[in-house]
């Protein structure tokens, strides 16, 4: 048996077949060639099977027992549907167009009764049935496009209740055959061959879902949002489109987005887990992209969509645009679903019962049925799911061990060995116990009791021995503890990574505390406290000795005998200095308590100075105060390798003064020895200058490498420190946080020429002191265009949140579960949530960004803008705005504009993504092309809101020019009217040659006769250019991007008719004469003018009569 391929981690569910329905069909005689099953429906209790002989079999799902058979003489059963809110009712449609509602009366042990009959669709094939979700009403659709409903009475309500007035009514007749019906909360969804319609059955209103037509069988369904945070939200609706696309629309029929599944369906299919055939293996070879017509869409399981073709079943998670799975199933005709169950009708009349399960639940059920090879196969294919700690609830380790023992060593040898590899990777029951178990296993032996408690057996030399050693260390004298380290330079090995030594000592200290409990009676071992001192003193002695050698190791001096004679005195001087340095090291070893006290006093002094208004309101004084405080902070809590540089950066500290004094004394001793030997002064001065230059160059190089760790020698930047290197009291930590955050916000960095470098240089070593929320706001306000600062902040937050359980869920690649885990973290804090969303975006891209709207206002558009690509940010912004009610969208979008300049940036962004080509909307001379406003813009709704936002004159002018340069003509015309540039608006309308731009509710209509004259003249000038453009076919067939029916032409005749309706036909003809337009009206236009004249006369006569009657009435009252 070959090695079983492993399924990718983004697949966690599988379709499985556990039950065989062939004996049931055989008992019903439905397996013969004469009698076949034609349709099916399913509910919680029933499986309904319609037959070609007109019979309806009701099968009780529990035990698969037949309870009833309902006969019909009006033809074979074409459709059947169970009532979702009362299982005592079922509706049947026959091939002759009869619709019957049956009341089963099983609870009262009565005979089934026909409580509703409709012949409204006689002679038509009924294609869809749909129940009302709250009433006994059934909607019916047929091949002619007719949709009606049938009300059913019920004998449950007593006598007379079964009588219904107008039981059958026609709802509407659509343009083509009805493919699918859906009903939810008073709305009826009708999917035909060409369009999808939405009907409010209470108010009798209709909408079209989207503007583009289609040609073929495409389904549609409602998608309830009744889980988690979506409870109470109106349902969505999904409508299939050509090319494996699905529209997502609101409950009002407004299309929100288009989901593309052509490329995601290029993934390999998952095998069907079934008992019928030999176990199928997963084939990892990818398929070609699939362009499929989804003939029906069904709401399925936990927020999923199901569809099928004759050869495969597809299950999507539309809220994140992902394919949950797709599986090849042969010869499919129809599918009925209930929760996570599927009942499939095949072309041969065979039935199959499938279930959608997670991999671990599938294995659990297979183990219960003792299907050992099949269970082992699923375990090996879905290793990433089976090995997780969550799966231990369904599949304990002992059950998997039992499964391995049940596999035959002769026939399943390779399967058994592969299962054994899976068992070695198993995680404990949960992540918390996983961390405890790994910690315990590294230090103690343990066993787990039945109640779940870990019984720990301490090993020899573990915790108790560590406590003993720590107590012995406490009793040691100071000198004995210092002798553990060798501070002599020759014996001190060079540690290239000081942090690694800290980690080693930390690991040594933690061996006695496997559970990391903060015990107050156990002080920190002295090695940890002295490790930083050792590193700093070693580096200090090393640098000092290098500078001494720079002055002493001169080849010319060593060749002279005079210098050799004086060498003894110099060596004695250096030896005396080394003794002094050793004494200083042993005398001035910093005590952690003394350091904390010094830091506390410096912090309190800085806070008291800042409380002085003269200091607080003076940036220079405030910066000096913070710089003085920073010097103490760097010396105590700064990185070990940066502490000498940090101290030396604020001019010169005491150690630096002593070092320079010593170097000057050494040089003076060299001068004196050379003077005594008779050496010329010029050479002495020259050598001294060379030595000083070399020393200065080394100092500059040291400073530059410390200030720019990421660019000096190509080495990566220092890691961000998210934990304090020393324990800091909580009250002191709060004050340090305030000062450090204020220092960052005020940008009091030493490197004022490069604020970005100064900010990142401070953020990396001292992030553990900063207020995360204030740093996040600072990055958005001050460093929005500086990716270095943003990446530094994000790196720190990713490190802080690395231990969260949500990270494990995100790494598995399931977007829906990741979002659910994030919702469970409420109440949210913006910085950690931002880190998790960053991981989601890196994992899923645009699909993740579209779902970030549910985290507003914790996560703002500014946060997403710094994280996502521009095209992905546009999708997020569009979803965020559309999530608001229509009347609040404009004000909501206005509230997001901080600063106001974002309006122009977002406008240009929306005009350059998912937009028509400029050559299709603009001519070579920059004029509008004919009917180019009919092109669809991907973010048209967002664009219409952006141009309607309140703005000053200059901003609106800039927006108008931007719309013109990109060919967004509807927006340009609107802005021209706002700017009172009506001449430009009329000229654009004439070039576009679409009179609907004037006739619509928000159209541009001339307000004076002068404007009418101008419009008629412009139309006469543009008519020739437009005609030539139409003849030559400038746009070609590119108008397929939008609607081809964009209204009538703008001609002098049409404008005259519009003016005649406004000012009267006589006035309109006079305006034409004034413009010098010779126009011969068509017979239709002449008839319209005559009718307008007659209407005008009748209106005048009626007004005259009403005025006379009012006058007589008033005189009569006066008398």
- Lowest mean per-residue pLDDT among 73-87, 805-819, 837-851, 1060-1074: 1060-1074
Judge whether residue 654 has pLDDT over 70.
no
pLDDT for position 527: 46
The arithmetic mean of pLDDT across residues 548-577, rounded, is 42
Instruction: Look up tokens 């408690």; give the residue.
Output: 453
pLDDT of residue 826: 77
pLDDT band at 539 (very low <50, low <70, confident <90, very high): low
User: Tell me, what's the pLDDT at 513?
Assistant: 34
With CA atoms as reference, report the closest residue to 641 among 743, 709, 582, 544: 709
- pLDDT tens for 592-608 read 788 888 888 899 988 88
The answer to whether residue 52 scores a pLDDT higher than 80 is: yes
173-205 in b/e form (b: 16+ CB < 10 A) is: ebeebbbbbbbbeebbbbbbbebbbbbeeeeee
**Average pLDDT for the chain:** 76
pLDDT of residue 886: 85
User: Looking at the predicted structure, is the pLDDT value of residue 685 above 50?
Assistant: no
* Residue 529's pLDDT band (cuts 50, 70, 90): very low
DSSP 338-392: ETTEEEEEETTS-EEEEEEEEHHHHHHHHHHTT-HHHHHHHHHHTHHHHTSGGGG
In order of 65, 176, 842, 868, the CA distances from 848 in angstroms are 46, 38, 9, 10
Range of lowest pLDDT (254-258, 296-300, 444-448, 649-653): 649-653
Task: Look at residue 101 and tell me whether its pLDDT is greater than 60.
Answer: yes
**Digit-coded pLDDT (tens) for 5-21:** 899 988 999 999 998 88
Confidence at residue 729, expressed as pLDDT on a 0 to 100 scale: 87
Q: What is the mean pLDDT of residues 1058-1073?
A: 73
Residue 61 has pLDDT above 70, yes or no: yes
Quick one: pLDDT at residue 157?
55
CB atoms within 10 A of CB 41: 23
Q: Looking at the predicted structure, is the pLDDT value of residue 705 above 80?
A: no
Token pair of 343 as six digits:
């009942």
Q: What is the pLDDT of residue 663?
A: 38
Indicate whether 193 pLDDT > 70: yes
* pLDDT at residue number 1083: 78
Give the range with max mean pLDDT: 207-216, 501-510, 546-555, 719-728.
Answer: 207-216
Q: Rg of the chain's alpha carbons, rounded to an integer?
A: 42
| 1012, 1055 contact by CB (below 8 A) | yes
Rounded to an integer, the average pLDDT of 776-794 is 85
- What was the pLDDT predicted at 778? 86
Which is more confidently placed, 688 or 46? 46
Average pLDDT over residues 694-716: 44
pLDDT at position 163 over 90: no
pLDDT at 73 over 60: yes
Q: Which has more pLDDT, 245 or 490?
A: 245
What band does 939 get if pLDDT is binned at 50, 70 and 90? confident
The region that residue 1096 occupies, defined by phi over 0 for left and psi between -120 and 50 for alpha, beta otherwise, is alpha
Among the ranges given (366-380, 663-677, 850-864, 918-932), the one the predictor scored with the smallest mean pLDDT: 663-677
Q: What is the pLDDT of residue 32?
A: 73
State yes or no: pLDDT of 716 exceeds 60. yes
Q: Does 166 have pLDDT greater than 70?
A: no
Q: Is pLDDT above 60 for 587? A: no
Predicted pLDDT of residue 1024: 57
Q: Lowest mean pLDDT: which of 185-189, 327-331, 549-553, 759-763?
A: 549-553
Q: What is the pLDDT of residue 672?
A: 42
**Quick check: 736 pLDDT over 60?**
yes
pLDDT of residue 254: 92
Least confidently predicted of 377-386, 651-660, 916-925:
651-660
Task: Name the pLDDT band for 452 (thresholds 50, 70, 90).
Answer: very low
CA-CA-CA-CA torsion sign (345, 349, 355, 359): negative
Q: What number is the average pLDDT over the span 89-113?
A: 89
Q: Using the predicted structure, report yes or no on whether residue 980 has a pLDDT greater than 90.
A: no
DSSP H helices in 725-869: 730-745, 755-766, 772-782, 787-800, 805-811, 815-823, 830-844, 846-850, 861-867
Q: What is the pLDDT of residues 1015-1054, one digit of tens each?
A: 777 777 776 555 555 544 444 444 444 443 444 677 777 7
Mind listing the pLDDT tens digit for each residue in 383-437?
Answer: 989 988 888 888 888 899 999 888 887 788 888 889 999 998 888 765 444 444 4
pLDDT in tens, 293-327: 999 999 998 889 999 999 999 999 998 889 999 99
Query: Does the structure show a pLDDT above 80 at 1013?
Result: no
- Evaluate if residue 669 carries a pLDDT over 80: no
Between 650 and 30, whose confidence is greater?
A: 30
Residue 130 scores a pLDDT above 90: yes
> When comparing pLDDT for 927 and 521, which is higher?
927
* Rounded average pLDDT over 463-475: 40
Q: Tell me the helices (H) and strands (E) count for the chain, helix number first.
A: 42, 31
Flag whether pLDDT at 441 surpasses 70.
no
pLDDT at residue 118, as a whole number: 93
Kindly tell me if the per-residue pLDDT of 506 is higher than 90: no
Choice among 369-383, 471-485, 737-751 with the minimum mean pLDDT: 471-485
Q: Is the pLDDT of residue 40 over 90?
A: yes
Strands (E), 229-321: 236-241, 245-249, 255-260, 273-274, 298-300, 304-308, 312-317
Structure tokens at 1020: 């006469």
């Amino acid at each position: 048996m070959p090695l079983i391929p492993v399924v990718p981690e983004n697949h966690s569910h599988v379709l499985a077949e556990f039950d065989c329905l062939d004996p049931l069909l055989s008992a019903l005689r439905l397996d013969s060639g004469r009698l076949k099953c034609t349709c099916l429906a399913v509910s919680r209790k029933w499986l309904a099977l319609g037959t070609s002989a007109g019979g309806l079999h009701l099968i009780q799902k529990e035990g698969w027992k037949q309870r009833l058979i309902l006969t019909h003489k009006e033809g074979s059963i074409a459709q059947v549907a169970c009532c979702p809110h009362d299982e005592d009712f079922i509706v049947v449609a026959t091939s002759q167009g009869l619709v019957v509602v049956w009341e089963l009366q099983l609870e009262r042990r009565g005979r089934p009764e026909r409580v509703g009959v409709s012949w409204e669709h006689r002679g038509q094939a009924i294609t869809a049935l749909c129940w009302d979700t709250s009433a006994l009403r059934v909607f019916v659709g047929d091949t002619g496009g007719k949709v009606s409903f049938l009300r059913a009475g019920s004998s449950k309500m007593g006598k007379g209740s079964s009588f219904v007035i107008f039981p059958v009514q026609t709802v509407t007749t659509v343009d083509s055959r009805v493919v699918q019906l859906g009903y939810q909360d008073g709305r009826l969804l009708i999917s035909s061959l060409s369009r999808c319609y939405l009907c409010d059955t209470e108010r009798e209103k209709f909408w079209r879902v989207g503007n583009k037509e289609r040609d073929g069988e495409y389904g549609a369904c409602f998608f309830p949002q009744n889980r988690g945070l979506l409870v109470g939200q109106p349902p969505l609706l999904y409508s299939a489109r050509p090319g494996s696309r699905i529209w997502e629309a609101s409950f009002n029929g407004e299309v929100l987005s288009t989901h593309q599944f052509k490329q995601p369906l290029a993934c390999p299919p998952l095998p069907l887990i079934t008992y019928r055939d030999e176990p199928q293996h997963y084939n990892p070879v990818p398929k070609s992209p699939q362009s499929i017509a989804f003939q029906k869409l069904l709401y399925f399981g936990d927020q999923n969509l199901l569809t099928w073709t004759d050869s495969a079943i597809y299950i999507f998670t539309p809220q994140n645009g992902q394919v949950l799975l797709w599986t090849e199933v042969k010869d499919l005709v129809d599918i009925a679903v209930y929760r996570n169950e599927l009942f499939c009708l095949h072309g041969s009349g065979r039935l199959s019962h499938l279930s959608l399960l997670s991999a671990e639940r599938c294995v659990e059920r297979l183990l219960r049925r003792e299907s050992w090879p099949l269970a082992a196969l699923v375990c090996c294919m879905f290793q990433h799911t089976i090995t997780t700690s969550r799966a231990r609830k369904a599949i304990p380790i002992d059950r998997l061990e039992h499964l391995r023992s049940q596999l035959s060593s002769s026939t399943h040898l390779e399967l058994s060995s592969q299962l054994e590899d899976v068992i070695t990777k198993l995680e404990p029951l949960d992540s918390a116990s996983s961390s405890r178990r790994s910690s315990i296993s590294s230090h103690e032996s343990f066993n787990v009791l039945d109640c779940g408690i870990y019984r720990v057996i301490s090993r020899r030399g573990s915790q108790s021995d560590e406590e003993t050693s720590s107590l012995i260390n406490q009793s040691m004298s100071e000198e004995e503890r210092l002798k553990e380290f060798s501070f002599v330079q020759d014996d001190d090995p060079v540690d290239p990574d000081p942090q690694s030594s800290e980690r080693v000592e930390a690991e040594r200290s933690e061996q006695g505390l496997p559970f990391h409990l903060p015990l107050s009676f156990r002080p920190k071992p002295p090695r940890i406290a002295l490790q930083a001192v050792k590193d700093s003193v070693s580096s200090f002695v090393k640098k000092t000795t290098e500078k001494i050698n720079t002055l002493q190791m001169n080849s010319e001096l060593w060749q002279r005998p005079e210098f050799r004679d004086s060498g003894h005195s110099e060596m004695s001087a250096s030896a005396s200095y080394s003794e002094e340095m050793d004494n200083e090291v042993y005398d001035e070893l910093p005590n952690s308590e003394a350091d904390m006290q010094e830091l506390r006093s410096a912090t309190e002094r800085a806070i008291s100075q800042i409380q002085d208004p003269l200091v607080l309101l003076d940036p220079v004084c405030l910066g000096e105060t913070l710089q003085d405080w920073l010097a103490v902070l760097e010396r105590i809590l700064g990185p070990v390798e940066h502490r000498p540089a940090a101290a030396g950066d604020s001019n010169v500290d005491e150690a630096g003064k002593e070092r320079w004094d010593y170097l000057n004394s050494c040089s003076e001793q060299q001068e004196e020895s050379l003077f005594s030997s008779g050496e010329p002064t010029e050479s002495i001065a020259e050598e001294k200058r060379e030595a000083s230059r070399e020393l200065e160059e080394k100092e500059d190089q040291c400073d530059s490498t410390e200030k720019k760790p990421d660019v000096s020698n190509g080495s990566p930047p220092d890691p961000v420190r998210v934990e304090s290197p020393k324990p800091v009291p909580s009250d002191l930590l709060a004050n340090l946080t305030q000062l450090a955050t204020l220092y960052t916000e005020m940008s009091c960095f030493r490197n004022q020429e490069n604020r970005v470098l100064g900010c990142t240089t401070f953020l990396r070593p001292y992030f553990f002191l900063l207020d995360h929320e204030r740093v996040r706001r600072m990055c958005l306000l001050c460093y929005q265009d500086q990716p270095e600062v943003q990446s530094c902040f994000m790196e720190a937050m990713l490190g802080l949140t690395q231990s969260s359980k949500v990270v494990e869920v995100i790494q598995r690649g399931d977007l829906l579960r990741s979002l659910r885990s994030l919702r469970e973290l409420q109440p949210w804090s913006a910085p950690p949530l931002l880190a998790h969303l960053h991981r989601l975006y890196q994992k899923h891209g645009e699909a993740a960004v579209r779902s970030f709207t549910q985290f507003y206002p914790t996560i703002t558009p500014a946060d997403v803008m710094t994280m996502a690509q521009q095209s992905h940010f546009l999708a997020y912004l569009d979803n965020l705005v559309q999530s608001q009610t229509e009347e609040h969208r404009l004000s909501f979008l206005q509230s997001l504009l901080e600063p106001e300049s974002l309006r122009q940036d977002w406008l240009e962004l929306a005009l350059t993504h998912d937009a028509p080509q400029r050559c299709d909307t603009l001519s070579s001379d920059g004029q509008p092309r004919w009917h180019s406003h009919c092109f669809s813009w991907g973010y048209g709704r967002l664009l219409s809101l952006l141009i309607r936002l309140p703005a000053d004159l200059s901003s609106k002018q800039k927006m108008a020019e931007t719309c013109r340069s990109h060919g967004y003509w509807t927006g340009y015309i609107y802005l021209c009217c706002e700017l009172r540039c009506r001449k430009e608006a009329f000229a654009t309308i004439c070039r576009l040659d679409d009179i609907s731009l004037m006739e619509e509710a928000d159209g541009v209509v001339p307000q004076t006769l002068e404007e009418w004259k101008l419009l008629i003249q412009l139309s006469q000038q543009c008519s020739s250019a437009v005609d030539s453009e139409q003849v030559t076919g400038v746009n070609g067939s590119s108008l397929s991007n939008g609607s081809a029916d964009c209204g009538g032409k703008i001609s002098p005749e049409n404008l005259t008719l519009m003016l005649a309706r406004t000012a009267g036909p006589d006035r309109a003809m006079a305006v034409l004469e004034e413009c010098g337009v010779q126009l011969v009206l068509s017979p239709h236009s002449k008839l319209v003018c005559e009718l307008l004249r007659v209407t005008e006369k009748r209106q005048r006569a009626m007004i005259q009569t009403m005025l006379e009657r009012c006058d007589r009435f008033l005189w009569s009252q006066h008398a």
